[in-house]
Chains A and B, each alone.
Chain A
Amino acid sequence: MSSALQFYMSTLLVYLGVSLIACWALNLQIGVTGVLNLGFIVFQALGAYTAAVLTLGPDTSNGGFQHYVFGAELPFPVPLLAAAGVGALASAGLGSIGLRRLRSDYQAMVFLVAAIIATDVATNVTGLVNGAAGLSLVPQPLSANVGLSPLDYQWFYVGLMAILCAVAFLLIRRLTLSPLGRSLRAVRDHEDAAEALGYNVYRLRLMVVVIGGALAAVSGAALVEFIGSWGPGSWFYQETFVYLAAVIIGGSGNNIGVALGALIVPVALNELPRFIPDFGGPGFVDAMRWVVIGVAILVFLYFRPQGIIPEKRNRFGLAGTVRHRWSGLATRARVRLGR
Chain B
Amino acid sequence: MSRAFAGIHAINDASFRVEAGAVTALIGPNGAGKSTMCSVISGFLRPDRGSVLYDGEEIVGCSPHRLAARGLLRTFQTSSEFPRLTVTENLLAGARADRGTTLIGALLGRRYWIAEERANLERARVLLMSFELLNVADQMAGMLSGGQKRLVELMRAIMARPRFLVLDEPLAGIHPATVESVIAAIQRLRSDGVTVLMIEHNLGVVERICDRVIVMANGSVIANGRMHELRQNPEVIDAYFGN
Instruction: Check A186 against B65 for contact (C-beta < 8 Å).
Output: no
Instruction: Check A318 against B82 for contact (C-beta < 8 Å).
Output: no
Known pairs A178-B113, A192-B44; A186 contacts B106 (CB<8 A): no
Instruction: Check B138 against A328 for contact (C-beta < 8 Å).
Output: no
Q: Please, what's the 1-or-0 string for A166-181, where 1 marks a CB less than 8 Å from any CB in chain B?
A: 0000010011011111
Which residues on the B side are within 8 Å of A179 (C-beta)? 92, 97, 99-101, 105-106, 113, 116-117
A196, A313, A318, A328: the one within 8 Å of B124 (CB): A318
Chain A CB within 8 A of B191 CB: no
Q: Which of B66-74, B179-187, B207-215 has 4 or more CB atoms under 8 Å from chain A? A: B66-74
Q: Please, what's the 1-or-0 string for A264-281, where 1 marks a CB less than 8 Å from any CB in chain B?
A: 000000000000000000
In this complex, how many residues of chain A approach chain B with their Cβ under 8 Å: the count is 42
Instruction: Check B121 against A327 for contact (C-beta < 8 Å).
Output: yes
Q: Please, what's the 1-or-0 string for A194-210, where 1 marks a CB less than 8 Å from any CB in chain B?
A: 11111111000001000
Give the number of residue pairs across the A-B interface with Cβ within 8 Å. 140
A262 to B95, CA, bound (A): 35
Candidate in A171, A188, A319 with the most chain B CB atoms within 10 angstroms: A319
In this complex, how many residues of chain B approach chain A with their Cβ under 8 Å: the count is 54
Known pairs A190-B82, A192-B76, A326-B118; A313 contacts B106 (CB<8 A): no
Known pairs A182-B92, A318-B138; A174 contacts B107 (CB<8 A): yes
Instruction: Check B121 against A318 for contact (C-beta < 8 Å).
Output: yes
Which residues on the A side are within 8 Å of B125 (C-beta)? 318
Chain B CB within 8 A of A152 CB: no
Chain B CB within 8 A of A193 CB: yes
Known pairs A185-B85, A189-B84, A195-B64; A319 contacts B137 (CB<8 A): yes
Q: What would 11 A/B residue contacts be, using CB atoms closer than 8 Å?
A: A178-B101, A183-B93, A190-B80, A190-B82, A196-B65, A198-B68, A314-B86, A319-B134, A320-B134, A327-B118, A328-B122
A-binding residues in B (CB < 8 A): 42, 44, 63-65, 68-69, 73-76, 80-86, 88-89, 92-94, 96-97, 99-103, 105-107, 109-110, 113-114, 116-118, 121-122, 124-125, 128, 134-135, 137-138, 140, 153, 156-157, 160
B-binding residues in A (CB < 8 A): 171, 174-175, 177-183, 185-186, 188-190, 192-201, 207, 253, 311, 313-320, 322, 324, 326-328, 337
Closest 8 CB pairs of A and B: A179-B100, A198-B68, A178-B106, A189-B82, A180-B106, A318-B137, A179-B97, A193-B80
